[in-house]
Chain A
Amino acid sequence: KQEVTQIPAALSVPEGENLVLNCSFTDSAIYNLQWFRQDPGKGLTSLLLIQSSQREQTSGRLNASLDKSSGRSTLYIAASQPGDSATYLCAVKADSGYSTLTFGKGTMLLVSP
């Protein structure tokens, strides 16, 4: 059974810092990996999706990498801002069909002004 772990569980940084969130998964046979953002009491916003054949994806100040063989992904946030404060979830998809995602518990990020 796939298990997804996110480290750290919580992170507090001052504005402007670059930071890295980590995600690991136990079964490397994944189809893709997605990073989401969740604000308190809200739904999920997809940030980046990396296909299993890809190494990284970038969107603005966000960069996600994937090392499928070692079962790891990182989300890099450059020049963090208070508006980045949220919980970041990592999720993996097992196959190309209409299968669901397996989520980690998330990293709660607080960026202070």
Chain B
Amino acid sequence: GAVVSQHPSWVICKSGTSVKIECRSLDFQATTMFWYRQFPKQSLMLMATSNEGSKATYEQGVEKDKFLINHASLTLSTLTVTSAHPEDSSFYICSAFGTSGDNEQFFGPGTRLTVL
């Protein structure tokens, strides 16, 4: 199946700093990627839909100025958490559709963000 990678796998930062998370489709082109956030023992919550070459579409309640998404190429989408605060500490996962025609989503391994 299709492979999606994320970098870094974990990051610890100080409050007030910005953190960038990369999501890459390794063996296919992804015109659409999704960013999810997962709190402990909770399910995945969609944050935004990232479309190559255009602005991301954010879900209700997600601050677009705080969570900057850039999808500059067909294989890379980035999520930047600006001025991070402890409440932004979470597990961030991206996903993308493969090219098999089944409309199956493939997920990255996730990035654990801890804001001190």
Q: How far is the CB of B29 from chain A (nearest CB, A)?
A: 13
What number of A-B contacts does a CB cutoff of 8 Å give? 51
A42 and B110 contact, Cβ closer than 8 Å, known pairs A32-B102, A93-B103, A104-B43: yes
Interface of A (DSSP majority class): strand
Choose one: B6, B43, B104, B110; the contact of A105 (CB below 8 Å): B43
Asked if B44 and A103 make an inter-chain contact with CB atoms under 8 angstroms apart, the answer reads yes
We find that the number of chain A residues with CB closer than 8 angstroms to chain B is 22
Asked if B112 and A41 make an inter-chain contact with CB atoms under 8 angstroms apart, the answer reads yes
Is B61 engaged at the interface, CB distance under 8 Å to the other chain?
Answer: no
Among A41, A49, A98, the one with the most B-chain Cβ atoms within 10 Å of its Cβ is A98
Question: Nearest residue in A to B30 (C-beta to C-beta)?
Answer: A98
Asked if A43 and B44 make an inter-chain contact with CB atoms under 8 angstroms apart, the answer reads no
- Which A residues are in CB contact (< 8 Å) with B44? 44, 89, 103
Asked if A49 and B32 make an inter-chain contact with CB atoms under 8 angstroms apart, the answer reads no
- Which B residues are in CB contact (< 8 Å) with A44? 44, 93, 95, 107
Asked if B104 and A46 make an inter-chain contact with CB atoms under 8 angstroms apart, the answer reads yes
Asked if A100 and B46 make an inter-chain contact with CB atoms under 8 angstroms apart, the answer reads yes
Is A24 engaged at the interface, CB distance under 8 Å to the other chain?
Answer: no
Choose one: B32, B97, B103, B110; the contact of A43 (CB below 8 Å): B110
Known: A44-B107, A89-B44. 6 other contacts (CB 8 A): A32-B104, A41-B110, A43-B93, A51-B102, A98-B49, A106-B43
Listed in ascending order, the chain B residues whose CB lies under 8 Å from chain A are: 1, 6, 31-32, 34, 42-44, 46, 49, 91, 93, 95, 97, 102-110, 112
A-B contact pairs, 29 of them (CB 8 A): A32-B104, A34-B104, A36-B107, A41-B91, A41-B112, A43-B6, A43-B93, A43-B109, A44-B44, A44-B95, A44-B107, A45-B107, A46-B1, A46-B104, A46-B105, A46-B106, A46-B107, A51-B102, A89-B43, A96-B103, A98-B49, A100-B34, A100-B46, A100-B49, A100-B105, A101-B105, A104-B43, A105-B42, A105-B43
